[in-house]
Structure 1
Amino acid sequence: MSIRLYVDSPLAAGTTLALPPGAARHVQVRRLQPGHALLLFDGGGAEWPAEVLAMGRSEVTVRVGEPQAVERELPFTATLAVGMPANDRMDALVEKATELGVAAIQPLVCERSVLRLDGERAERKQAHWQAVAVAACEQCGRTRVPRVEPVRPLAAWLGALSSSQDLGTRLLLSPRPGARPLAERLPAGAGFCTLSGPEGGLSPAEEAAAEAAGFAAVGLGPRVLRADTAPLAVLGWAGLRV
């Protein structure tokens, strides 16, 4: 299988390109040599065959071939708005959500969040998670990289949403008894945005604010799923129904 690498700039057939540092390191670690083939993608929905022309100590030069249209996306748009789980669980959530076809991930700080980020630390984490999404795309074959949005407080994010904003079906993942089964709320093939809480869940006030913003409470069965499991369960279930 060819090495697939993401290039964060528009590609053009017939051009000679010095790979960005991360991609160049990957080629060097894999010990490719001049004449070896690889695949590039720039997030625009195509794969670009390329050939290694030269290997330097820190630079790799390739010739870009003709693009090949590739469609490996879900036939609907899925957004996960998540109260960030702590430790490395957010990294795993971003990776697996990318593999399952998510279009965008909105990290949130909630009342019960263990992981609290703001300022420069939040920006560094966003950049790290975006890199995790890129690496997952390189592995799974996607040619469009999902967006990892800037970290926001839940209240501010809900307050900025408008009723006309096209998020698809708005789903609030909730363990409370009154939540309806997911299958009753989400038609097959429909786009959606799920909102889920951190390890301690969303507070009653946060759930009420979400419902006021158009989110309908849904349950995922009799077991309590972890903060990083619940949104992935919805994404996988929805993707397998099309």
Structure 2
Amino acid sequence: MRIPRIYHPEPLQIDTEIALSDDAAGHVGRVLRMGAGQALQLFDGSNQVFNATITEAGKKRVSVQVIDATTDDRESPLNLHLGQVMSRGEKMEFTIQKSIELGVNTITPLFSERCGVKLDEERLGKKLQQWRKIAIAACEQCGRNRLPEIRPAMTLEAWCVEPEEGLRLNLHPRASHSINTLPLPVQRLRLLIGPEGGLSADEIAMTARHGFTDILLGPRVLRTETTALTAITALQVRFGDLG
């Protein structure tokens, strides 16, 4: 049986006994139905893996003894910041989950002219909490030991004007550049994925003014969630650690 991986939100230390967070305790105690004496792997975002043994297990509280630690770096050499215009339903959750599995470091949800998602501040706050839980679960599943940042939502223009070193890319179906034509090497990259209806002409012009290069993935028109994952995969193959 595979040893479950659990994220702990506070720094871990060897030879200490700790209580898991409420979410983690619920998963270990109620869902996995694990008991005292069984093994867990913990990570706290420090790029280390901590072996631990359960000392107490209930439906609401789980305590563990931290035994040892090893550094386990599974981060890509490409630092990739995804700006994703929010999509409806479960598509945004799917994009966040899979892009983290593919090695994205930062995700910023965006509002644009054709964004189909309308959320007030309260609902947006709840969405952000849910997206961060999805990020934790994705790291637990895929083996990453650093937690990617899920930022609060902002407007497309506010995101584009942020100062950040590195290459800036915007997916566009009529672009003249492809990922394979981009010069090597690239260590930092900001990738913009538009809404289901695409960016407006004014928005495309605005991204160009802020240094974004339009790139083309191929001859077929992809859905927004397919576009993000295809582009991230291609970028990790060319500049990162896939393939």
Q: Give the TM bin, normalised by the shorter chain.
A: over 0.9
Shift of residue 117, structure 1, vs aligned partner: 2.9
Q: 2:233 aligns with which of 215, 233, 236?
A: 236
8 Å contact from structure 2 (residues 167, 186) kept in 1: no
Residue identity opposite 1:207 in structure 2: I
Shift of residue 179, structure 1, vs aligned partner: 3.2
Alignment of 1:82-93 (within 5 A): 82-93=84-95
Alignment of 1:64-75 (within 5 A): 64-75=66-77
Shift of residue 19, structure 1, vs aligned partner: 0.7
User: Which string of whole-angstrom CA distances, capped at 9 and with x for unpartnered residues, describes residues 9-49 of structure 1?
Assistant: 11111111011111111111212111111100011101100
Q: Provide closer, same or farther for how the CA distance between residues 186 and 122 of structure 1 changes in structure 2, counting only shifts above 3 A.
A: farther
Residue identity opposite 1:191 in structure 2: R
Shift of residue 116, structure 1, vs aligned partner: 2.5
* Alignment partner of 1:154 is 2:151: no
Q: 2:144 aligns with which of 136, 142, 145?
A: 142
Q: What secondary structure, in the 3-state scheme, does the structure 2 residue paired with 1:64 have?
A: strand
* Alignment partner of 1:206 is 2:203: yes
In the other structure, the counterpart of 1:120 is 122
Q: What secondary structure, in the 3-state scheme, does the structure 2 residue paired with 1:225 have?
A: coil
Alpha-carbon separation, structure 2, partners of 1:194 and 1:179: 17
Gaps of 5+ in 2: none
Alpha-carbon separation, structure 2, partners of 1:57 and 1:199: 42
8 Å contact from structure 1 (residues 175, 224) kept in 2: yes
8 Å contact from structure 2 (residues 81, 105) kept in 1: yes
TM-score normalised to structure 2 length: 0.93
User: Which string of whole-angstrom CA distances, capped at 9 and with x for unpartnered residues, describes residues 98-121 of structure 1?
Assistant: 100000011101000101234122
Gaps of 5+ in 1: none
User: Which string of whole-angstrom CA distances, capped at 9 and with x for unpartnered residues, describes residues 81-113 of structure 1?
Assistant: 011111110000000001000000111010001
Residue identity opposite 2:121 in structure 1: G
RMSD across aligned C-alpha pairs, in angstroms?
Answer: 1.4
Shift of residue 189, structure 1, vs aligned partner: 5.1
Aligned length: 237
Stretches of 4+ aligned residues off by more than 4 angstroms: none
Alignment of 1:54-73 (within 5 A): 54-73=56-75
Alpha-carbon separation, structure 2, partners of 1:27 and 1:212: 50
In the other structure, the counterpart of 2:43 is 41
TM-score normalised to structure 1 length: 0.94
Alpha-carbon separation, structure 1, partners of 2:67 and 2:234: 37
User: Which string of whole-angstrom CA distances, capped at 9 and with x for unpartnered residues, describes residues 41-83 of structure 1?
Assistant: 0111011000000123411110012211001111120111011
Q: What secondary structure, in the 3-state scheme, does the structure 2 residue paired with 1:67 have?
A: strand
Q: What secondary structure, in the 3-state scheme, does the structure 2 residue paired with 1:98 have?
A: helix
Residue identity opposite 1:230 in structure 2: T
Shift of residue 188, structure 1, vs aligned partner: 5.4
